[in-house]
């Protein structure tokens, strides 16, 4: 299968501070309506600083699926060691390929966050860290939606995105596998032995493409009903 042709211009960082403010406050556990005007002004200024620092980039690569058994999805150049996701492929019609991607906000935001390490700027670091988390997840959501639309145009459906550390896919081994396949150093991302990515505000993920996908994630068939990553209700409890 040919790589998916996505328009990089279709993935844009949120830039409206009025939209970002409640999202970032929520990420920090604050209610925007209850914080003081001076604190709101301070957070707003930090959001503006963060917007000046981000330099989003991404890499996307597809791999044909050659098999899925024994708890592993085998792709051309990349394997996913997850029994839950491998089992889910049995419920799909013609699972055909893996869409692997990585998104980063760039190293300048990491530097800006690190500047908040001094005692009088710890709150600034807290805000900027929340800002980065909101921004990179929004970009990953956009990428997921773009892949979904691109596949639909070719008559395919896709799963929800899943990342190393989700379900039973190990963080360290999963990140190593994706980094080897994607070569993200092209966009300035490096993966540590622990599975941590540098810059830290980076997201890696995989989606499965198939002709028909009744369930987009293994949640419905998973016994871990209190999993923080749960995306679908109706989990099996028996």
Q: What confidence tens digit (pLDDT) does each residue in 148-205 have?
A: 998 998 899 999 999 999 889 999 999 999 999 999 999 999 999 999 999 999 999 9
Each residue of 72-101: b (16+ CB within 10 Å) or e?
Answer: ebbbeebbbbbbbbbebbeebeebbbbbbb
Average pLDDT of the segment spanning 101-118: 89
Percent of the chain with pLDDT over 90: 76
> Is residue 25 in a domain?
yes
Confidence of residue 223 (pLDDT cuts 50, 70, 90): confident
- Position 4 in a domain: no
Of the two residues 59 and 226, the one the predictor is more confident about is: 59
In a domain? residue 16: yes
Calculate the alpha carbon distances from 192 to 31, 174, 181, 196 in Å: 35, 12, 15, 5
Worst-scoring range by mean pLDDT, 17-21, 30-34, 71-75? 30-34
Q: Evaluate whether residue 3 is within a structural domain.
A: no
Q: What is the CATH number of the domain that holds 107?
A: 3.40.109.40
- pLDDT for 121 equals 85
Q: Which domain holds residue 117?
A: 10-221
- pLDDT value at residue 18: 94
Mapped onto helix, strand or coil, the DSSP state of residue 114 is helix
Question: Residue 70 falls within a domain, yes or no?
Answer: yes
Determine the pLDDT at residue 45: 95
Bridge partners, 202 (sequence order): 104
Residue 126 lies in a domain: yes
- C-alpha–C-alpha distance, residues 40 and 44, integer Å: 6
**Alpha-carbon gap, residue 210 to 92, rounded angstroms:** 7
**Residue 110: strand, helix, or coil:** helix
Domain count, the chain: 1
Whole-angstrom distance, CA of residue 209 vs CA of residue 211 = 7
Is residue 229 in some structural domain? no
For residue 211, the model assigns a pLDDT of 96
Residue 238 lies in a domain: no
């Amino acid at each position: 299968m040919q790589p998916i042709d996505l328009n990089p211009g279709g993935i844009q960082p949120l830039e409206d501070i009025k939209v970002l403010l409640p999202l970032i406050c929520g990420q920090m556990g604050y209610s925007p309506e209850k914080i003081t005007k001076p604190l709101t002004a301070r957070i707003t200024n930090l959001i503006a600083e963060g917007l000046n620092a981000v330099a989003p980039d991404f890499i996307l690569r597809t791999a044909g699926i050659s098999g899925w058994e024994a708890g592993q999805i085998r792709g051309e150049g990349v394997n996913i060691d997850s029994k839950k996701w491998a089992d889910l492929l049995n419920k799909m019609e013609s699972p055909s390929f893996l869409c692997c991607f990585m998104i980063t906000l760039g190293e300048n935001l990491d530097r800006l966050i690190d500047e908040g390490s001094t005692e009088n700027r710890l709150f600034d670091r807290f805000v900027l860290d929340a800002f980065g988390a909101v921004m990179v997840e929004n970009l990953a959501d956009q990428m997921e939606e773009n892949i979904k639309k691109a596949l639909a145009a070719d008559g395919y459906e896709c799963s929800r995105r899943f990342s190393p550390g989700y379900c039973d896919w190990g963080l360290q081994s999963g990140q190593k596998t994706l980094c080897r396949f994607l070569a993200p150093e092209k966009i300035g991302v490096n993966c540590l032995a622990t599975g941590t990515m540098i810059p830290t505000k980076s997201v890696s993920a995989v989606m499965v493409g198939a002709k028909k996908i009744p369930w987009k994630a293994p949640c419905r068939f998973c016994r871990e009903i209190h999993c923080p990553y749960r995306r679908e209700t109706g989990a099996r409890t028996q």
